[in-house]
Structure 1
Amino acid sequence: MTVQPAPAARPFGTVGTAMVTPFSEDGEKLDLEAAQAVAAHLVAHGNDCLVLNGTTGESPTTSDAEKVALVRAVREAVGPGITLLAGVGSNDTRHSIELARAHADLDLQGVLVVTPYYSKPSQEGIIAHTEQVADATELPVLLYDIPGRSGVPLAHETLLRLAQHERILAVKDAKGDLQQAALITAQSDLVYYSGEDALNLAWLAVGAAGIVSVVGHVAGDLEAQMVAAVQAGDLPAAQQLNRRLAPVVEAVMTRMPGAVAAKTALVLQGVLPHATVRGPLAPASAPQMAELRESLAAVEGIPPLV
């Protein structure tokens, strides 16, 4: 099946969610049926892009075979009209190349390549790593700049050099450097996506093409409305929606790891049967679940709790 490409200014859609990976209740296997239900839920609630096998998808704990199986199951669930990306980055260049090649024929619109983590490579090392992964397939690349997890930010000159690669199209930014982004977009064709829910409106205001969210698991409709308001030039409406989203962002992104909070919220909304995560993540405690329920119940415009 073939998906029509998005406009050049928005190569990976506008409203994306970094999707959780559901497991069996004991955590031993993927629950592909639940993954399909989550994907369908996200598409029904404002998302035109799903990013699989990222941090929120607990990619450090899933095998390559599980990653591939998840992509296949989600594509089957959402059909040909939804943009799908998959994380293939790691701190091992050879493994990242192998993983990219394993995804080459899976009907994806791109791959997410995170800055190599833990090893803290030089900028030259990052460039070589990223270009080799980009050269491994014909798939477009979304860079993931998240120094809070990788330990090393993408420097200005690094971004400009990577922008020269024909398949490196965009950056998912989770370091919050709006000024750098303004300069990079003035000096190259790189497109930016917000990778930090608390800054979604700020990123959109400086020209980001869209967002890749965790909060989109439970508030995709509101996020889609906010993106549409910005695109229509209606800043007051976008600000109002951002204020409505603020308590959801606070509840999902600040009290426990995003994957834990997103799965717990999906259980509260009746989308997932349980919120099992793989170690080293720990499930939400009863008080955390109660607090999340209270926070979500107070927000209008999101799917109701069960």
Structure 2
Amino acid sequence: MKSTIVSSPHVPRANRVDQIMLQVLLALVPGVAAMIWFFGWGVLINVVLAVTFAVLAEATVVLLRGRRPWPAVGDLSAVVTAVLFAISVPPTLPWWLTLLGILFAIVLVKQLYGGMGYNPFNPAMAAYVFLLISYPVAMTTWLAPSMLAEHGFTFMESLRAILTGALPPGLDWDAVSSATPLDEMRGKLDLDMTIEEIRQSPLWGSFGGRGWEWVGNWFLLGGVYLLWRRVITWHIPVSMLTGLLVSAGVFWLIDPQTHPFPAFHLFSGAAILGAFFIATDPVTACTTKRGQVIFGALIGVTVYVIRSWGGYPDAIAFAVLLMNIAAPTIDYYTQPRVFGHGGERG
């Protein structure tokens, strides 16, 4: 009888890159849907444009390197990068800025270093910071949440604004745009207003900005899904949010009239999105468990420092990129001891 001998391992690996990325995309759906609900069809249009540009850019660069494009495109890493970038930028960002950001992320930050697994920086956040520094006005022009907006954009109005920059007749950007909760809080505090006075604005909800806090809740649901599916571990998200909350809590206890309640920092910007979907990038984050705790905590502290005293209110991208630089050093000093080494002889 003829038999076939198969070498180990006999159990197929479950952590294929495309399967992991697909789980991340599924986990992003609730938060993206909430953003579309509160900030309009421009969010969806940005996602479609960013994904299209990212796939084309990835395939083109891989072809120029003399390789087959499907393995690179099929792992869905470019799609995840595109979605994270698209939901980080304003929903009416001009299409050519989306293209410029995606080219920066895919070509320079990812493929220039060798492709998937070799990039030292998070591509989506690097592209976001590049555009924020280069085009600050366009990158900070956010629409008012749906419950505060006097004019809600239809799909065609959103498409026209993104492709041509034209607004509906009788409207200008001052009429449809709104400061983000972090911008509002920072600007009013600089005018020596107290937290109680600032929160009299209709912009505020229970903890953070109206609309923004619900978006954070839906991204939190997606983050819990990733934990349940074991796509990520708790170390970075929990330590990052803890670092942010503890930093904010200390200053809130010292002076609650000039420092907002700690929960404000969770539900007014991209803290939850950053904790579960951005800081946990397996390529650019720490790999040791102790290192991940330190990595996450330092991101949380850095976010609070930049939000409170830096020039950019929502500091997730800057904090993540700074810690991307430190990740190899943190891993070096947090490597687990190899059994049989480092101890004294009995």
TM-score clears 0.5: no
Q: TM-score of the superposition, structure 1-length normalised?
A: 0.30
Compare the two structures and name the one with the higher strand fraction: 1
Q: TM-score of the superposition, structure 2-length normalised?
A: 0.28
